[in-house]
Structure 1
Amino acid sequence: MRDLQQPDNYETLKAKINSAAIVGHTTDTTTKIWVRAFRQGKWTLIVSTTKLPESAYDLSGKDLGQMKAHNSDIVFLEERDITRTTDQTMTFEVSGLTPDTRYYYYLASDDPDLALERKVELGGDHQYWFRTLAKNPQSLLFGFYSCHDPFSVKPNNEGAWDKFYDVLNERQADFVIGGGDQVYCDTNHASQIQDVWVWLKNNKNALLAKYRKANGSLDEPPIIEYFTKLYRTYYRIYWQFEHLRYVYRRFPQYMIWDDHEIMDGWGSLTEDERKAKLANFFQNDDENANYALVMLMFKAAAQAYLEYQHAHNPDSMIINGDPGASHWDYNFDQGAYGFYMLDVRGHHDCEQPDGQRLLGADQFERFESWINSASIKKKKAIFICSPVPVVHWKESAVNTFDFGGQKDDFMDEWGHKTNHAERNKILELLLARSHENDIPIVILSGDVHCASAFGITHTQTYPGARLFNVTSSAISRSPAPGIATAAMQKSAPIDGFDGGRFEQMFRFAGENNFAVINADCRDGELQLSATLYWAKPGSESVTQKVIRLGT
């Protein structure tokens, strides 16, 4: 039996972020700012309307607590104890801000226990700043991306992140949505980075030997702590790429997970198939122990996701230690527009009853209540993030090749026959809301490593509906080859949804891509469009396609 390595020594040869910042949920008067500090200790976040002068942040013998009194431009200064408990991460909530205003922020410390020569860890170059939204904005412009895996290509590179940053700056984006797979914890050895599930399969016996109690049960808290350290490592590795960090520190981020933050195909594998993930040939495996480890890994993945992604999202009900009971879906408003981020992983279970497998019954009820609320009926447009597209691949292929290594990928799809009941309920809700209130609705998706746009219609029952699904993937993952367009859904009736029809508007594969959504209402009439951008890594040019989404 191999020795169990210390989790802090996992992937020691890869570069990792030490200190970093993310601007999270931002309104006209508030923001969330997430930070990671390279050491635990007392750290202070400072927010100012102007760049702080050198004389302010070199401290000159003063402590940070005195700074606000001597700098009237400082609007927020708060010290927090940042510890290893959350991997030295912390989210600050800032309020009382002014609409449509630029703010600079700084992470600093005068903790004597840290004995830092450089007191300002982040922001000393004045490149850490954000802008609050306008009060009740009637126009919005935001970015969308998915599937960040720079280790899936050789040489490793950041894909289209540099182009994404440039476009966001040039077009003065309000915020960015990360539509899933912001990290890949289950990549492969060809990528020269460890698959956490292969690691567990190879090391589970050493793990069980250390953490199994005398009565045969598992000592769960230290196992979860061990696994959580492994998952955190992926975030620190995957998020150390330069232009990704530029986007995260500058533009407000809204994130939702997909399967690769947990396990490839999470939710589309049966209990027996999850057990088999850890099974070794010629060993007398304990299947119950295998399954217990799988579910403890899910708890660890959820904890790392909470620390690195969900902590800076809008608030939702999170129950520590119980991801299955937590609400990972959330919604937010930006002026005349409503947003809902669907969670297709936290409650995804292919063994649940028909109509409850992707979202679960409780999440569907929350979503139904939201989209039928009086405030949402008054919006100019509605945007829904479903990390897995409602329509992308040909449904005939999805329901024919759902076996072997492709089974979980196709069973993830809304178009798979096992998910038709749930898909149909969602489509009925969206088509009815769009038709009855004359509101365009756009579903934003990732997951599939290529791009597409579809209209979804039901002219007999909902003739006034304007429903679209725009997919952009992948920003840095190795893209599907150009020939993949042949497998994409064409304009056709919707299988299993009588009277419904998919209208293909655009399809593309072969290069990294991202999207910018523009809701322009400057002249009083809404003009809604999605622009898909694609480029080869390292190229000087970027290609774009504007897709009009109706008015």
Structure 2
Amino acid sequence: MMTSSLLPLGPVLFLDDVRDGLLHLAALFVTDPGQTPPPLDTPDGPQPVTRLAGYDQATVWRARFTLPADRPSAYGWAGDRYEVAGDLTGDLRLGYVSCNGEETGDLLREGSERNAMWARLREEHRRRPLALLLHGGDQVYADEVTHDHPLSHDWPDSLPDAPSASALAGLRQHLRERFLTRYLAVLAAPEAAWLMARVPSLMQWDDHDICDGWGSLRRSRLGSGVGQTLFSAAREAALLFQHGACDGDLPRRFADPAGHHLGWTVRAPGLRLLAPDLRSERTRRQVMGPGGWSLMEAESRTPLPGHTLLLSSVPLLGPRLSLLEAVMVAVPKMQKYEDDLRDQWQSRAHRDEWRRMLQMVAEMARQPGHALTAVSGEIHLATRAVMDLGEGRGLQQLVASGIAHRAPPQGWARFLGTLASLGEGPLPGHPIRIGRLPGQRGRYVAERNYLLLERQGAEWQARWDLETSGLTDPLAL
């Protein structure tokens, strides 16, 4: 795919923060080298664009501006007007998507098939506007960016011996251009582009935004020159195309201004959006490092009336995958799938850390006048789960995955449902139950999907849009 055919790109709208009654926004543009986008037309007057990054084939630009956070408004660019729902103070709707692509051949897929669910979500917004669009991971599938370069072509199966600094610089240049092409392809898709110019996005990354299983691979891979060059190029691209930012210039919602981890928090009236980073500090033995835990501990100590939506890029509540993991380790032909299970909170390697996170989240959910719902993607299925908190209360988790990734076989969904029937209880006295979506017979639904989260008054509800089954009845949160 030629990058020039996708340009110019934009505006792509991101939410930097909510404060002082305003939406602090960033609009991203990508142009051919040498071209400069015109300024934005905003209620505060023209806002110029700033150059963020240069590539061989393109230049990346951004304009920051504000709009009211208590009513609908609009901005303009290049003669077009973009309506923004904006109001975060009363009744509102949020969209949640994940897994926007596939591991192999994603750039070769026919657009209307690939983006069918994006088209449905666009029509939902036209029917009843979305205030925000939450992206729960795997915004791109970058697994093929390492191909066609001698240092990375066989990644992660084999590594070159001690590549020179100049060779790694050449690899970085190769990877940067490949990440650019991936992001432009998904952001330029007309079904998504129309929506993302009008609905501010908030994103968190997962492994495929780097490579399949990043963080769960062997230390020799993660710490190698090739591995660190791959991570650096992926991180730069994620900051640009998922946040409209770059190093030294992160929005205030990020917990670490230096970006050692990319966890963030947004607070609006009666609502907290909390997104810990489950990749930047991940190793085979830990899901989060000191930065991620510092964010979670600080938020757990912050009393907040209303509702918290916790974005966990891999499901926080799930079945007893440790049993499946033990079988895979024991069977040589299945050991290649070990990294996939190591990615999960439920892995045997992360058991203590999982308990720590569940205990922390349970305490947040029990705070007076507060409720918490976990929202996840990653597994290419739709499902939900509940952890019993006692006294008639439960911690709910909603899983919506994926919006573009085609669903796995029905047999896999049935197998996971059978596994879920065994139950799971990492915290004594707080069993986890995998529930069914409204109107569905199985615990896991093998259809492409996205999630709608709606607040009416002080009450929240969720609805899944399933590709074949359609829109579910509402589930009270």
Decide: shared fold, TM above 0.5.
yes
Q: Aligned AA for 1:43?
A: P
Query: Structure 1 residue 382 and structure 2 residue 308: aligned?
Result: yes
1:197 to 146, 150, 153: 146
Structure 2 counterpart of 1:102:
73
| Two-structure CA RMSD over aligned residues (Å) | 2.8
Q: Aligned AA for 1:479?
A: A
1:499 to 420, 426, 429: 429
Q: Distance in 2 between matches of 1:478 and 1:14?
A: 28
Deviation at 1:179, TM superposition (A): 0.5
2:297 to 358, 368, 375: 368
**Residues 203 and 543 of structure 1, relative CA distance in 2, 3 Å threshold:** closer
Structure 2 counterpart of 1:330:
264
Deviation at 1:474, TM superposition (A): 0.7
1:234-273 counterparts in 2 under 5 A? Answer: 234-272=182-220
Deviation at 1:379, TM superposition (A): 2.1
Structure 2 counterpart of 1:116:
none
Give the number of the structure whose alpha-carbon radius of gyration is greater: 1
**Residues 502 and 132 of structure 1, relative CA distance in 2, 3 Å threshold:** same
Query: Structure 1 residue 514 and structure 2 residue 438: aligned?
Result: no
1:426-445 counterparts in 2 under 5 A? Answer: 426-445=357-376
**Percent of residue pairs identical:** 16
Q: Aligned AA for 1:501?
A: P
Deviation at 1:148, TM superposition (A): 0.8
Q: What is the SS of the residue equivalent to 1:440? A: strand
Structure 2 counterpart of 1:80:
49
Q: Aligned AA for 2:51?
A: I
Structure 1 counterpart of 2:466:
534
Q: Aligned AA for 1:300?
A: A
Check the 8 A contact 1:147/1:182 in 2, yes or no: yes
Check the 8 A contact 2:151/2:171 in 1, yes or no: no
Check the 8 A contact 2:149/2:174 in 1, yes or no: no
Check the 8 A contact 2:320/2:422 in 1, yes or no: no
Q: Distance in 1 between matches of 2:152 and 2:232?
A: 19
Q: What is the SS of the residue equivalent to 2:44? A: strand
Superposed CA offset, 1:241-300 (max 9, x none) = 11111121111100111111101000011123x28xxxxxxxxxxxx9xx2112111101
**Residues 399 and 531 of structure 1, relative CA distance in 2, 3 Å threshold:** farther
Deviation at 1:222, TM superposition (A): 5.4
Structure 2 counterpart of 1:177:
134
Q: Aligned AA for 1:370?
A: E
Q: What is the SS of the residue equivalent to 1:94? A: strand
2:243 to 299, 303, 310: 310
Q: What is the SS of the residue equivalent to 1:149? A: coil
**Residues 201 and 224 of structure 1, relative CA distance in 2, 3 Å threshold:** closer
Deviation at 1:467, TM superposition (A): 1.0
Superposed CA offset, 1:344-400 (max 9, x none) = 1111111x4xxxx11112211211111211xxx232111110110013454232443
Q: Aligned AA for 2:132?
A: F
Q: What is the SS of the residue equivalent to 2:420? A: coil
Q: How many residues align?
A: 440
**Residues 399 and 544 of structure 1, relative CA distance in 2, 3 Å threshold:** farther
Structure 1 length-normalised TM: 0.73
Q: Aligned AA for 1:389?
A: P
1:131 to 85, 89, 96: 85
Query: Structure 1 residue 391 and structure 2 residue 317: aligned?
Result: yes
Check the 8 A contact 2:96/2:134 in 1, yes or no: yes
Q: Distance in 1 between matches of 2:204 and 2:52?
A: 25
Q: Aligned AA for 1:304?
A: A
**Residues 81 and 494 of structure 1, relative CA distance in 2, 3 Å threshold:** closer
Q: Distance in 1 between matches of 2:367 and 2:392?
A: 8
Q: What is the SS of the residue equivalent to 1:517? A: strand
Superposed CA offset, 1:117-174 (max 9, x none) = xxx3xxx343x3323224xx14332000001117559645213111111112322221
Check the 8 A contact 2:263/2:276 in 1, yes or no: yes
Deviation at 1:223, TM superposition (A): 4.3
Deviation at 1:530, TM superposition (A): 1.1
Check the 8 A contact 2:96/2:400 in 1, yes or no: yes
Superposed CA offset, 1:425-466 (max 9, x none) = 11111112222425221111111101101111143xxx3543
Q: Distance in 2 between matches of 1:161 and 1:441?
A: 27
Residue ranges of structure 1 left out of the alignment (5+ in a row) = 1-10, 49-73, 107-119, 187-194, 206-211, 276-287, 320-324, 537-541
Q: Distance in 2 between matches of 1:434 and 1:83?
A: 39
Structure 2 length-normalised TM: 0.84
Check the 8 A contact 2:310/2:375 in 1, yes or no: yes
Check the 8 A contact 1:492/1:503 in 2, yes or no: no
Deviation at 1:201, TM superposition (A): 5.0
